[in-house]
Structure 1
C-alpha cells in the first residue's frame, strides 16, 4: 500500500559527555514523504549552498538555494528629501501631531526607490522513478549529528536508499543512490526552475546545467547570474541524455554532484564568472570517493557541532513519533524533545552561516518561493539580531562572522544615508536591509522610520569582543562601533519639554499607542533610548581599551547623562514611550522596550530591582502566545526573570503544531519556526533562551542555573561559553542544585560565579565570597540613570531566589572544578 503523506518525526534524546552515546539521539525521522509540502522537507546546507530534501518516492525533489541568488543588483535607496523635512517632522512630533508627522515622513523620508530585494531559489533537482507507486518500509531522516539526510523504502523486494549532504569542505551537494540488489536502480534526473530568464541544457552524457538571471524588482534590474551544474557518476548500468534530462538504467549505484555559483563578488561588484566557479567546484569534487567526501564533511561539521552537549533527561514520551510529541508536548514531560530542538537550532546556524558567506536571512538559507514573505530579507529591528543570539554562547563564534562582516559593510553604505538624509556623521541603518546593503527607510513610516538598525547591529561587534577578548579584532571593528555613536551624537535633539536628548523621529518598532492617533512615530521611545545608551557605552569602553579618542569619549559621557531614564508607569510597567500611555491589554508581538532586559543588560534584579519587577509586569500584560519569533524572545526574557517554569511554558507554546492556539505561531513538522509563515529567528531565539535558562553571563557574573524549570531538575551540559572567555566544559545538576562544574579560562582573569547553592573548589583552592564590582572588565555593567516612577505606581521589588557569589583568580588555559559544598 502507498503510505499517506503525514510525516512522523522520531526524536530521541541528546548524547552528552560523560553519558552513554545514543546513535539515534540526534535524528529527526519520518515514516512518510513530504509530499508537496515544503515545510515537511528537511534542510541541509553548508552556508553557501543549501537544499530542502523532500524524500518523495516517485518524484524526489531537492529544492536548491545559493546564498547570493537575490533579485536586483547594486543600488541605493536613500531619500535626499528627508533632510529638508527633518525639522518640520520633529516640530509636529513635539507638538503632539503624530499622525501629521507620520504622513510627512511617508512623503519626505521613506524611500521612493527600492524597498529591498528578494532572496530567491535557484530551482529543483528532480529524480523521477517509474514503477515505485507501491512501496513499504518507508523511512527518512535528518541526522543533525552528522549533517546528512537519508531516505529508504522497499519496492518489489528491493530496498532503495538515498543519502545526501552539502559538503562543507567541497562546497557541493552530494547525493548517493543505491539498492540492495545489483542492476535495479533506474530513474530520470532533471533540473527545473521558476526563473523566467533561464536556460536548461544537457552537457554531454552526464551533466545537467541550469543557468539563470534573478528577477527585476521594484525598478532594480535583476543582474545576478547563476549556474547550477549537476554531474552524474554511475556504478554499472548506462546513462542516456535527452533534451533536458539524463536517464539512468539498471545501475548498481549512482552519485550525483550538484554545484551552484553566481557572479556575485560583493554588494557592489557582480563581475564574477558563475559558469567557471560552478565548474571549478564540480571538477574538484567529482573524482573523489563518496565515503571519503562524507567523512571529510562530517569532520568539518562536527568541529563546530560537537562543541556543545546537552542532556536534560528523557521520559517515555521520547519513544513516540515526533508529530505525536509535538502534539503532546504542552501537556506532558518530554525534556529530550527540548534538547533536540536546542541542538537543531545550532545545526541550522552552522548550516546557514559560514565564514565568507552571507548571514542567515529571515529564512536562513532555505527558500522555495520566488516572492517569499517579507522578501526573506534582513529585518534588523529584531529578527536578524535574534538569528545570532546563540552564536557566541553556544560556542559557534565563527558562525557570527557573516553578520559581523555585513555590519562592517553597512557601516560603509550607511555613511551616505546618515549624511544625505539626516546631515549626520557616522553611519546608520533603518529597519531592513538586503544583500545590496541598503540602509534607507522602507515599507512606510509606521515601520521604516525607525533608525536604530545600525545602532543595534553594532552591539554584535562589541559582543564578539566580550566573548573572545580579541583586541586585534576590536581594533578592526572600532570604526564601525564608533560610527554608530557618531550618528547619534549628531542626530539626537533636545526634547523641548523634558530637555533630554532624544531620537526624533523614532518609534517603538511596529507598535503605536492609541493616544498618538495610531501613529508609531515618536520622540524618545524607550527602546531608542536603550539602544543609544548601549551604543555610547560600547564606544566609550572600546575607545578606552584601545586608548583612542579621549575627547570624543568625554563628549559621549556627557551626552549619555542627558539621555532619558527608563520610566515605570501607572500600571507598574516599564513605559514603552516617554508618555505613560501603555495599554495593559495590549498583546502586541513586539515588546521592544524590554530590549534593556534582553539582549541588553540594563535591567538587573540586583542593581535596579524595581525596574526588574516592572519588566515582569510588562511581560504579564503582553501575554505568552504570539508569533513564533516573539515567543522565542519571551523565552529569553523569562529566563532573565529567573522564572524557569514560565520560560518553559513559552517553550511549550513554541513547540506546538501551527494552528493549535488561535492567533499564535508554533512549529512546522520539520521543526522550522512558524511566524507564520516560516521565519528561522524563532528557532535561533529559542536555542538562545534555553541557554539563558542554564547559564547567563551579562550581569557581572557567570550565573549558573539561573532559571531551571521543574522539568529540568537534573541534567548535564558542556561547551557553553561566557563573556570573558570562560568555557563551561562540564556542568552537572540534580534536584535543581549544582553538583559539579568544570570551567576553563581561555583568557585568564577573575572568575565570578553566582550559584544556586554553596560550592567549593575540588582542588581545595580557596574561593572567596564576592562583593563589589567584578574586577574582570569583560563583565563590567554600565550604570543606568535612576528610573522615574509614576506617582500612581505601587511597584515593589520581587523576592529573588537566594544565590551565592564567589570570586576566583584564574590563569589563561587553566581549568577549575567546583563541587557541591
Structure 2
C-alpha cells in the first residue's frame, strides 16, 4: 500500500526508537546509617587498590584503620619428605576402598602440622577523640561509592562536626578530614597505634612515623602520618597530639613497603621515608578539596561504566537507612533498589581493593584492623580468590583483573617446585598462599588441604579474561603456565585400568562423605580418587591449553598429548537420583547443605556444561543446587555462608531460573549482609560481595556458551517475575561486546557494540539472531514478548 512520506518517516522513527534501550535509572550508590559503627565490620571503608582506609567507633571516639596491600607476615614450613611415595600409597588405598586409611596417611605422612601462609597485617590505627562536646542531636554516616568517600556527620544545637575518609588514587595517600562549625571549634585528640608491640612509633612535630615489619621477618613498612590543622592550638601529651579550637583538620597517611612484587624473596632497598616524604609533600600542596575531587573523578568514571535498574522500591523506602531496609527485607519485603546498591558495592570493592600492578584482593580486602586477620586474610584458591574476579569483566572493570592474572602467572616457579617435590611434572598449587607465593599442601586436615587442582582453577581466569579482551599478547604471557599446568594434569591423572584417567588422591574441597571402608559400614572420610571437582578442572585445564594454542597458532608435543589425553578424562557421573555425583561413587554427603558446591563447577564458573549443549547436565546441576539449597535453608545439615549463597545465585542464573536467583539474593540480604553491606561468612569475607555482583550481571547477560561457531549472547536470560521493567548499561561479554539493554512486560531490547570482529548468536527465550559484526559496529536488537 502507499504510505504518505511523513507517516512512513514517523513509522520508521518509532521502529528505531523501539529498538533503543532505555537508560538505566539506578538507585543512589550510597550506604547510610543513623547509628555508630560499634565494630569494624559495621564501619565504612574505601581504598585506591593499594591503600585501604576504614573508620568505625562510637561518638565521641573514632578509629581510622590505615592499611597497605603488601604487608604480610612470613610462615616457615617444610615440605614433608616422603610425601610423593605417600601420595602413591594413598591412591592405592582409595582404589581398594580404604578411604579412612588414606585420610590417616595424609595426616601422618603428607600434610604439614599447621598453616603454610603468613597473615595479612595492618599498617596502623589512628585513634581520634572529640572532647567536650555534648551528645549529638542527629548522627549520620554515609558511604558514597560514586565519590569514593565515607562521611560521618554529627549535628549539635550550635554547629556540626563532619569527618571524611578517602584514599586518593593518583596522589596515592590516605586522608582523614575533620570539619567543625562549633562556635569555638573542636578539641580533638589523635594518636597513632599498632597492635604489634615490636612496631616502633616515633613522634614528629606534626604527626608520627610508624616503622614495622610483618611477623617472622615479613614485609618491612613505614607509615608516615602528618596532621595539618591551620588555626588550631597544638599540644602534645606523650604520643598523643591535642588540637584546640580546630575548625578544619586534615590527616594524611602514606605507607611504603619493601615488598618486591616481581621478586618477593628480594626485598626492595629504597628509602621508605623518602618515598613517603615525596608523596605527602604533593598531597599537602594539593589540599583536601583537590584530593577529594581527584578521588571523585576516579570513582565516578568507573562506577558509572555499568549501571542496572531492576525496578523501583516502594515510595518512602529510599529515605530509610541501609540497616532499616535490611530489616524490612528480613520481614519478607522486597527492595530492588537495595539489590542494585549491593550490586554496585561489589563493583566499588573491585575499585577500592584492586589496582593494576599491585597484589590482588585477598580474603578481606584492604580493611583488616587486626594483627591476625580471619583466615589469615590471604589468597584461598579453591573458590575465594577466584570469586573476587567474577564481576570485573562483565561489569566494565576488566582492567582490574590484571593484578590477579599477573599474580597467577607469578605462582609458576613455586608451583613447579611443588610438583617436582611430589615427583610430578609441570605446575600445581595448594589450597592457599600469601604474597610470598610459596606452596605445599596446607593445614593438617585433608578436608581442605588435600587438593592439588587449585592451580588449574586459578589458571582458568587467564583464558577467560582473553575471551573478553582478545589480548593476544596477554595470552602469550599465560601460555607457559597453561602448558605447565597441562603437563601436571597429565602426570597426576592415572589410568584406572578401564581406559579412563582419574585424578587423585584428592578431595571435593572442604567436605567429606560416608562410605564403608572395612572399619565400619558408614565411616566419614575425605580423600578419594576421581572427585567431580578434580575431573572437571582437569578437563578444563587441557581444553584451555588446547584453545590457547589454537588462538596463538602454536603446535607443541604437549598439545598433541593433551588432545589425546582429554578424550580419556571422564565427565562426572549423574547419580541414580538425577544429581551430579560429587564423588565417583554415589556416597552420602557429610553435610547435605554444605557451603562448597565444587562438583557443579562445570556449569558455573566453568564451561564444561550449559543449558544449550548439555541439557542433561544442566538438569542434574539444577537438582543438585535445589538439594543443597533445601538443606542449607534448614540450617541443621549445612553451613550457611554469604559467598556460597552468591555461588548459588550465579548457578541459578546460568540455569535461566531468575526466580531462584532472586530468592538467593534476598537470602543473602536476610542472613549474610551486614548493615554496611559487608558479606558475612561470618565474619567478613569480601568474595561474597563480588559473587553477588556477578550473579546480578549473570541474570542480565551471559556469554560463556559457544554454539555452531557463534559466541552465544543470552540477553536477559534470568529475569525474576517481579522484575517487570528494568535496564542495564555498560555490560561486557566474551567476544568483546559492550551491551546496553532494557526490558518491559516481556519485551527485551538491546544495543551491542563490537570491540573486535566476531560472530554472535543473540538469544532470548529460545529465539535467536545470528550476526557477524565488524570492529566498531553497533547493532540494535528487539525481542518482542512471546505470544501465549
Q: TM-score scaled by structure 1?
A: 0.87
Out of 38, 50, 53, the residue aligned to residue 51 of structure 1 is 53
Matches within 5 A, 1:140-159: 140-159=141-160
Q: CA deviation at 1:85?
A: 2.0
Displacement, 1:112?
5.0
Using the TM superposition, give the Cα deviation of residue 683 of structure 1 relative to its aligned residue in structure 2, in angstroms. Answer: 0.8
- What CA distance in whole angstroms lies between the structure 2 residues aligned with 1:594 and 1:570? 17
Length, aligned pairs only: 739
Q: Does 1:670 align with 2:633?
A: no
Structure 2 counterparts to residues 329-368 of structure 1, below 5 A: 329-330=329-330, 331-368=332-369
- Answer whether contact 1:77 1:113 (CA < 8 A) is retained: no
SS at match of 1:425: coil
Match of 2:774 among 800, 805, 811: 811
Q: Which has the higher contact order (CA 8 A, sep 6+)?
A: 2
Which residue does the alignment assign to 2:663?
649
Q: Does 1:612 align with 2:626?
A: no
Q: Which residue of 2 aligns with 1:268?
A: 265
| Corresponding residue number in structure 2 for 1:662 | none
Residues 208, 246 of structure 1: 8 Å contact kept: no
**CA shift in 2, pair 1:99/1:564, >3 Å:** same
Contact 1:202 1:241 in 2 (8 A): no
| Higher mean displacement: 350-359 or 230-239 | 230-239
* Candidates 291, 295, 298, aligned match of 1:297: 295
1:680-732 residue CA offsets vs partner (Å, 9 max, x unmatched):
1111111111111111101120000111002222101011110010011x211
1:541-589 alpha-carbon deviations (Å, 9 max, x no partner): 1112212234322211110111022211111111111112245981111
Alpha-carbon contact 1:584-1:622 (below 8 Å) kept: no
Note the C-alpha offset of 1:651: 0.5
What residue number does 2:236 align with? 241
Deviation at 1:304, TM superposition (A): 2.0
2:305 maps to 1:307: yes
8 Å CA contact retained: 1:187, 1:247 = yes
Aligned residue for 2:166? 165
CA distance in 2, matches of 1:77, 1:713: 58
**Comparing 331-340 and 152-161, the one that deviates more:** 152-161
Q: Do the aligned partners of 1:79 and 1:112 also contact (CA within 8 Å) in 2?
A: no
Please state if 1:28 is matched with 2:25: no
Distance 1:458 1:67 in 2: 22
1:77 and 1:114 in contact (8 A); partners too: no
1: distance between equivalents of 2:377 and 2:642?
16
Q: 1:30 to 1:102 in 2, by over 3 A?
A: same
The equivalent of 2:225 in structure 1 is 230
Residue 251 of structure 1 pairs with residue 260 of structure 2: no
After superposition, what is the alpha-carbon deviation per residue over 1:270-315, rounded to whole angstroms, capped at 9, x for unaligned?
A: 2344333333322231211321221112222233222101111212
> 2:579 is matched with which residue: 562, 569, 573?
573
CA separation of 1:129 and 1:584: change in aligned 2, threshold 3 A: closer
**Distance in 2 of aligned mates of 1:367 and 1:585:** 31
Candidates 734, 758, 772, aligned match of 2:744? 734
The SS at the match of 2:465 is helix
Aligned equivalents of 1:110 and 1:584: distance in 2? 21
Equivalent position of 1:589 in the other structure: 595
Q: Secondary structure at the match of 1:530?
A: helix
* TM-superposition CA deviations, 1:356-399 (whole Å, max 9, x none): 22111111222122222211121111111111111111111111
> Where does 1:503-518 land on structure 2 (aligned, <5 Å)?
503-515=503-515, 517-518=523-524
State the SS of the aligned residue for 1:261. Answer: strand
Is 2:148–2:166's contact at 8 Å kept on the other side of the alignment? yes
Give distance in 1, aligned partners of 2:148 and 2:257: 24
Comparing 324-333 with 558-567, greater Cα deviation is found at 324-333
Q: Return the alpha-carbon distance in structure 1 between the equivalents of residues 701 and 25 of structure 2.
A: 24
- The Cα of 1:820 is off from its aligned counterpart by 4.3
Look up the SS of the partner of 1:200 in the other structure: strand
* Residue 36 of structure 2 corresponds to residue 38 of structure 1: no
CA–CA separation in structure 2 for the residues paired with 1:694 and 1:614: 23
Task: Quote the Cα distance in structure 1 between the aligned partners of 2:366 and 2:218.
Answer: 20
> What corresponds to 2:5 in structure 1?
none
In the alignment, what sits opposite 1:101?
102
Matches within 5 A, 1:95-134: 95-111=96-112, 115-134=116-135
Q: Relative to 1, partners in 2 of residues 1:18 and 1:189: Cα closer, same or farther, differing over 3 Å?
A: farther
SS in 1 for 2:418: helix
Q: How far apart are residue 748 of structure 1 and its match? A: 1.6
1:669 positional shift: 1.6
**Cα drift, residue 751 of structure 1:** 2.1
- Give the aligned partner of residue 754 of structure 2: 745
**1:597-647 CA deviation, whole Å, 9 max, x = no partner?**
100122222222221111111112112532111101000011111111111
| Conservation of the 8 A alpha-carbon contact between 1:318 and 1:334 | no
Equivalent positions of 1:677-692 (< 5 A) are: 677-692=683-698
Find the counterpart in structure 1 of residue 388 from structure 2: 387
SS at match of 1:417: helix
Q: 1:585 to 1:348 in 2, by over 3 A?
A: closer
Question: Could you list the per-position Cα deviations for residues 208-239 of structure 1 after superposition, in whole angstroms to 9, with x for gaps in the alignment?
Answer: 22222222xxxxx2332222111111232232
The answer on 1:520 being equivalent to 2:517 is no
How far apart, CA to CA, are the structure 2 residues paired with 1:514 and 1:499? Answer: 27
Larger CA deviation: 381-390 vs 329-338: 329-338
Query: Which stretch of structure 1 is more off in the superposition, 130-139 or 689-698?
Result: 130-139
Match of 2:439 in 1: 439
Aligned residues of 2:125 and 2:192 also touching (Cα < 8 A): yes
> Secondary structure at 2:524's aligned position in 1?
coil
Cα offset, 1:78, TM superposition: 3.2
Residue in structure 1 matched with residue 91 of structure 2 by the alignment: 90
Distance 1:201 1:531 in 2: 51
CA-to-partner distance for each residue in 1:225-261, whole Å, 9 max, x for gaps? 2221111112322322343122212133111111112
Distance 1:20 1:681, change over 3 A: closer
Shift of 1:410: 0.8
Whether the aligned pair in 2 keeps the contact of 1:210 and 1:228 (CA below 8 Å) is yes
Give the Cα–Cα distance (whole angstroms) in 2 for the partners of residues 82 and 303 of structure 1.
51
Q: Indicate which of 650, 654, 667 corresponds to 1:636.
A: 650
CA distance in structure 2 between the aligned counterparts of 1:255 and 1:319, rounded to whole angstroms: 31
Is 1:346–1:390's contact at 8 Å kept on the other side of the alignment?
A: yes
Residues of 2 paired with 1:489 and 1:583: CA distance?
29
Determine the C-alpha separation between the residues in 2 that align with 1:673 and 1:106.
33
- Backbone CA RMSD of aligned residues: 2.0
Partner of 2:490: 489
After TM superposition, give the deviation of residue 526 of structure 1 in Å: 0.7
Q: Given that residues 201 and 243 in structure 1 are in contact (C-alpha distance below 8 angstroms), is that contact kept between their aligned partners in structure 2?
A: no
What SS does the aligned partner of 2:217 have? Answer: coil
Matched, 1:460 2:471: no
CA deviations over 1:77-121 (Å, ceiling 9, x no partner): 533421232321211111111111111122222135752111112
TM-score w.r.t. structure 2 length?
0.91
* Contact 1:182/1:252 (8 A) holds in 2: no
| 1:668–1:369 distance in 2 versus 1, CA, 3 Å | same
What is the rounded CA distance, in whole Å, between the counterparts of 2:591 and 2:435 in structure 1? Answer: 38
| Equivalent position SS for 1:809 | strand
> Does the 8 A contact of 2:311 with 2:724 survive in 1?
no
Q: Distance in 2 between matches of 1:709 and 1:113?
A: 45
Alpha carbons of structure 1 residues 57 and 353: separation in structure 2 relative to 1, 3 Å? same
Counterpart for residue 427 of structure 1: 427
Q: Report if the CA contact (8 A) 1:76-1:438 is conserved.
A: no
C-alpha contact (below 8 Å) 2:418/2:427 kept by paired residues: yes
Q: What are the ranges of 5 or more consecutive residues in structure 2 without an aligned counterpart?
A: 1-20, 517-522, 634-639, 707-711
Alpha-carbon separation, structure 1, partners of 2:133 and 2:142:
20
Give the 3 Å change call, closer, same or farther, for CA 600–228 of structure 1 in structure 2: same
Which of 312-321 and 332-341 deviates more?
312-321
Distance 1:146 1:535, change over 3 A: same
